[in-house]
Amino acid sequence: MLAIIVLVLTALAFAWSMGAHYTGACMGMPYATKSIALRPALGLMAAMTLIGAAFLSHKVLVHVGHGILTGQLLVIPAIIVIGVAFLLTTAFTQLRIPTSTIQILIFALGGAGLALGLGINWLAILHLVVLWVLAPFIACGLGFLFTKLFDHVPWFNASESARLIGQALVLVGGVASLTMGANDVSNATAVFLTVHFSGPLLAGLIGGLGLAVGVLTWGRPILERVAFDVVKMDMKMATAAQLVQALVVLTAVAFGYFTSMNQALIGAMAGTGLARGRQTIDRKVMFGIGRGWIIGPGAGFILAYVGAWVYRAILGG
């Protein structure tokens, strides 16, 4: 019973950290264009994230909970996996570097599974890795093309059009928040299904509460980093970046895969910046984000492997 309590608390901590970490991916563009203020942006995201996690996450929870490891993951190794993902996500948030929590989690599961001698669906992981490598480059190219296209649409230059676009960006940010809750809550609470603690409804609700609290209490740093520090954004660039993010993520979901909302948005933002000229891109920040995308999954794999190996060797797992 104590181990289950620790697992739930660890999952809640991870969900809290994730909620804070994804504010930029969901509300960065409407906030960057001043279409919405800070507190309303965080409030809208928290509400939509909770709804998505509680009511729209069931299929993803089942997929992540049962689709990566073919062996039985016990409670203490599950705590190790979620704990590693929580610590790494929190570290990246503290450093204000957007990363991919789903990539950290999947590699942590793989590391723990390998150390414990469990069956691992390596083909599924390989498919995800290929998608994760390609997605930012595809988003970058589309961001460039869409920005160039919008530059030739006179309608964008009218003040009334700018107001409508701003409202649309806020709406899309709300939908992105709903999507994030539905897809990413599984990172924290899919292990509830793996260890047979709960069904999808309770797992989604618990994780959704953690996500929402994270958005409200610690969401500002990453929101401001994505909105203001990576690329100097105008209305056309923000619209292009948000549209490309939606296209990339939803296309992946349509084919049964999940990709990083952060990577899709940052890649699209890089493309919009290239369309305006390299001087609009903070290359130091961009390279730091790129390193984070590599370090995060690798560190997740190594730390989870070591933790699970210690559990198996010393505690008789």
pLDDT digits (tens, 9 = 90+) for 181-226: 988 898 999 889 888 899 999 999 999 999 999 999 999 999 999 9
pLDDT for position 316: 61
Identity (one letter) of the amino acid at 106? I
DSSP, res 56: S
Q: How many residues in the chain?
A: 317
Amino acid found at 306: V
- How confident is residue 85, by pLDDT bands cut at 50, 70 and 90? very high
Indicate the pLDDT class of residue 291, thresholds 50, 70 and 90: confident
Position 67 pLDDT exceeds 80: no
Q: Report whether pLDDT(158) > 70.
A: no
Confidence at 312, pLDDT banded by 50, 70, 90:
very high
DSSP 199-263: -HHHHHHHHHHHHHHHHHHH-HHHHHIIIIISB---HHHHHHHHHHHHHHHHHHHHTT----HHH
In this prediction, residue 127 has a pLDDT band, given cuts at 50, 70 and 90, of confident
Name beta bridge partners: 231: 281
Mean pLDDT, the chain, as a whole number?
89
What letters, b where the CB count within 10 A reaches 16 and e where it falls short, cover 175-189? Answer: bbbbbbbbbbbbbbb
Arithmetic mean of pLDDT, 128-156: 89
Contact 226, 33 (CB under 8 A): no
Q: What is the pLDDT of residue 156?
A: 65
Nearest to 203 by CA among 25, 3, 15: 15
Residues 6+ apart with CB under 8 A from 129: none
Q: Residue 316: left if φ>0, alpha if ψ -120 to 50, beta else—which one?
A: left
Contact 208, 12 (CB under 8 A): no
Identify the residue with better confidence: 125 or 268.
Answer: 268
Q: How far is CA 256 from CA 18, 46, 124, 131, 313, in A?
A: 22, 26, 11, 12, 37
* pLDDT range class, residue 66, cuts 50, 70, 90: low
Of the pLDDT bands very low, low, confident and very high (cuts 50, 70, 90), residue 157 is low
Q: Which two tokens stand for residue 179?
A: 């999507």
In this structure, what is the dihedral angle of CA atoms 209, 210, 216, 222, given to the nearest 10 degrees?
Answer: -140
pTM above 0.85, yes or no: yes
| More confident: 315 or 189 | 189
Give me the mean pLDDT over the 45-54 stretch.
Answer: 96
* Cβ–Cβ < 8 Å for 82, 8: no
Residues 6+ apart with CB under 8 A from 19: 46, 49, 210, 211, 212, 213, 214, 215, 216, 218, 219
Q: Closest by alpha carbon to 64, among 107, 13, 3?
A: 107
| Between 48 and 69, the higher pLDDT residue | 48
> Buried b / exposed e across 25-52, counting CB within 10 Å, b at 16+?
bbbbbbbbbebbeeeebbebbbbbbbbb
Q: What is the pLDDT of residues 103-113, one digit of tens each?
A: 999 999 999 99
Whether residue 282 has pLDDT greater than 80: no
